[in-house]
Structure 1
Amino acid sequence: MELKNDLLLRAARGEKTERTPVWLMRQAGRILPEYRAVRNSLRDFIELVKTPERAAEVTIQPVDILGVDAAIIFSDILVIPEAMGCLYEMQEKKGPYFPKTVATEQDLNTLKVADAESDLGYVLEAIRITKKELNGRVPLIGFAGAPFTIFCYMVEGSGSKTFSKARKMLYTQPELAHQLLQMITDSTIAYLQAQVKAGADLLQVFDSWAGILGPEQYREFSLSYIRQICEALDGQVPLTVFAKGAWFALKEMSALPCQTIGLDWHMDPEECRKWVGTDKTLQGNMDPCVLYGNAKEVAGATRRMLEQFGPHRHIANLGHGVYPDTDPEMVKVFIETVKEYSSKMR
């Protein structure tokens, strides 16, 4: 099916666009009252993720309400550990919790490499439904967590400021860490390939906890596995790598076979462009807290961001997911400013 709005895909491929495309990480979620209405009609977050019709509904809401240039499938990065046999719960106001973690080889032996169709079919069905209902209006983004970020949750058991248990394993049991990371990587590659087959137009890999590692460990325990994913998906659909806090790895990321590199709000776009070069598209990177300002402040910050990135090879986004107590009206100001101002920059 031909897309009516293919700005995102053209920008990712480095083609010239009439304006800068824009979407937001976590756009399908708690900022929208319409999302909360759907979420409250179900038992919990995990039930919403596993109900394809409802997941498709909340995926499309931001396209209708906010006017973004892409939908991103409503799911969670933690569907991979669950599919591998490491179950999680989503605790209100606390986040994810894993009753059983991976600490020993015996723990590892209870896990498997996930089968995308049988273990994660509900996500694939949500993609198929969403594609049909979008009817070519905008592209659909599929995603997965980077292996190291998934590893952090499976070893630590929950979110953490330091992930000291997970990082300890890298030093004390590096072979076990590599075995688990490879299982996660194999599961993720099959999952992302299945998302493409189901209809995803672009993929994003989220390395949310990249910034807790130093350069040497990041190279060994994260970037090498992200490279495997990029190589396995190379040539299928455009791929974005977003590694929060890993500014030190940007030059090495520029050598990955991916089309787009996501920047968080700590990263200076002009400096990053020098490190990355001109062959990659950059995505980002406004501080989500800017959206707590008034319309004039949000518009001004958005224009400054666009000027820093320049008119080509840029996908406008925040430097991380939009915060749940953000006013949707300020999100609309951000989106409309990107559309209007980037058109004038051409």
Structure 2
Amino acid sequence: MSSAPHGKPLLKTVLGERQDRPPVWIMRQAGRYLPEYRETRAKAATFLDLCYNPELATEVTLQPLRRFDLDAAILFSDILVIPDALGQKVGFETGEGPRLDPLGVEGISALRPEGVVGALAPVLETVSRVKAALAPEKTLIGFCGSPWTVATYMIGGRGTTDQAPARLFALRHPQAFAALMDVLVQASIAYLVAQFRAGADVVQLFESWALNLDETAFRAQVIEPNARIVAGVRAQVPDAPIIGFPRGAAGMIAAYAEATGVNALGLDYSMPTAFADKALPKTLGVQGNLDPLRLVAGGEQMETRAREIIAGFAGRPHIFNLGHGIVPETPIEHVARLIDIVKGR
């Protein structure tokens, strides 16, 4: 693993140490709301070309830290590099999101997790480059998509509002679905271990599409695979700091936290602060959870809500963040103001 947590407020918080003020980063902080990102993006033919170009991806990762007093950089990449590395064709349509060749039962046996780390060597080089360029007090966050979320794209061929293609696949073809999840668990472990070895201080598991699962499916398709990843990573990187972000977990957050063993729990913006604070152990760090559209609108409502969140989690380790990714139409001055509020300015 990379350097010790001394001097890194965000890493300390992940490891359970409450700070005088919450450290802050923003999901999708490197992205289309920044003009410098759009300029860099234009240098790559496709979005995946940008992800796989260490020079450009490093530049994009560092851009938001040049503008804002953020406590962490998060690797610029995408959750769908894993299916791409597994051999499933992945593309991105401008304005429409990812497009994959939908995976059927017969295609699962062709997936080979052992080649993932080699295929993603350019991403790992980006991790190393960012680490070398970061100030010592800044935390470097790596990540991957959690198996259920990645599987929804692999099976559906695109993002869907209710994840019905993957939900039906799991019900109709349980053995094939279990085999797919096994592949994704093993690929994710290898990829995250490689990120730690390349210089990541902490990693985040993005379970972005947990919100449409019943409790039985949530345990089987979210909790169990994420727990296997956490255990598998720590078998090779002892005490690896890991943030879980099960978006839409609702009343299952405590079960997720306990069963997975993550160090900190990302909360989506629909999660009431008082519920989360009561449901989770006081030693467990939480991350979140401002509605991204409050950041778009800005003004008094944003400032009031940000202060409510900070106060709501004042008795535990807390990383301030949005409750989902920043959206492209977000005014830069609103981001600057939000960070000033978190920093007590």
TM-score tier (shorter): over 0.9
2:164, 2:302 → 1: CA distance?
A: 37
Give 1:315's aligned amino acid: I
Deviations 1:72-118 (A, max 9, x none): 000000000111111200100000001x22212x2112211143431
Please say if residues 51 and 57 of structure 2, whose CA atoms lie closer than 8 Å, have aligned partners that are also in contact. yes
Query: 2:49 aligns to what?
Result: 47
- Cα deviation 1:22-74 (Å, max 9, x = unaligned): 00000011111111110012212111101001101110111111211100000
Identity of aligned residues (%): 35
Q: Is the 8 A contact 1:285 1:319 kept in 2?
A: yes
One-letter identity of the residue aligned with 1:63: L
Aligned pairs (5 A) from 1:249-260: 249-255=252-258, 256-260=260-264
Aligned twin of 2:185: 185
Q: Which residue of 1 aligns with 2:275?
A: 271
Cα deviation, 1:184-221, whole Å, max 9, x if unaligned, reads: 11000000000000000010000000001111111112
> 1:203 aligns to what?
203
- Alignment match, 2:102: 101
SS in 2 for 1:283: strand
* Distance in structure 1 (CA, Å) of the matches to 2:293 and 2:15: 30
What is the deviation of 1:296?
Answer: 3.1
Structure 1 stretch displaced more, 106-115 or 265-274: 106-115
> Residue 127 of structure 1: CA displacement?
0.3
What is the aligned partner in structure 1 of residue 145 from structure 2? Answer: 145
**Does the CA-based 8 Å contact 1:286-1:319 persist in structure 2?**
yes
- 1:247: which partner in 2? 250
Give the SS at the match of 1:323.
Answer: coil
Equivalent position of 2:265 in the other structure: 261
Shift of 1:311: 4.9
Match in the other structure for 1:18:
20
Structure 1 residue 308, shift from structure 2 partner: 1.3
**Match status 1:338 vs 2:342:** yes
Q: CA deviation at 1:279?
A: 2.7
Q: Which stretch of the first structure deviates more once superposed, 296-305 or 277-286? A: 296-305
Structure 1: distance between partners of 2:38 and 2:89: 25
Query: 2:204·2:244 contact (CA, 8 Å) conserved in 1?
Result: yes
Find the aligned partners of 2:7 and 2:46 in 1 and give their Cα distance: 33
Residues 334/109 of structure 1: CA separation in 2 closer, same or farther (3 Å cut): same
TM-score by length of 2: 0.95
Report the CA distance between 1:299 and its aligned residue.
1.9
- 1:294 and 1:215 map into 2 onto residues whose CA distance is 36
| Structure 1 consecutive aligned stretches of length 4 or more whose deviation exceeds 4 Å | 1-5
Q: CA RMSD in A?
A: 1.5
Contact 2:269/2:291, CA 8 A, preserved across alignment: yes
Contact 2:282 2:315 in 1 (8 A): no
Q: Is the 8 A contact 1:254 1:277 kept in 2?
A: no
- Correspondence list, 1:1-346, <5 A: 5-98=7-100, 100-104=101-105, 106-234=106-234, 235-255=238-258, 256-340=260-344
CA shift for structure 1 position 137 = 4.2
Q: CA deviation at 1:3?
A: 6.9
1:5: Cα distance to partner? 4.6
Extract unaligned runs of 5+ from structure 2: none
Tell me the TM-score normalized by structure 1: 0.94
Is the 1:298–1:333 Cα contact (8 Å) retained in structure 2?
no
Residue identity in the other structure for 2:55: E
**Alignment-mate amino acid for residue 122 of structure 2:** Y
What is the number of residues matched between the two proteins?
339
Residue type matched to 1:141 in 2? I
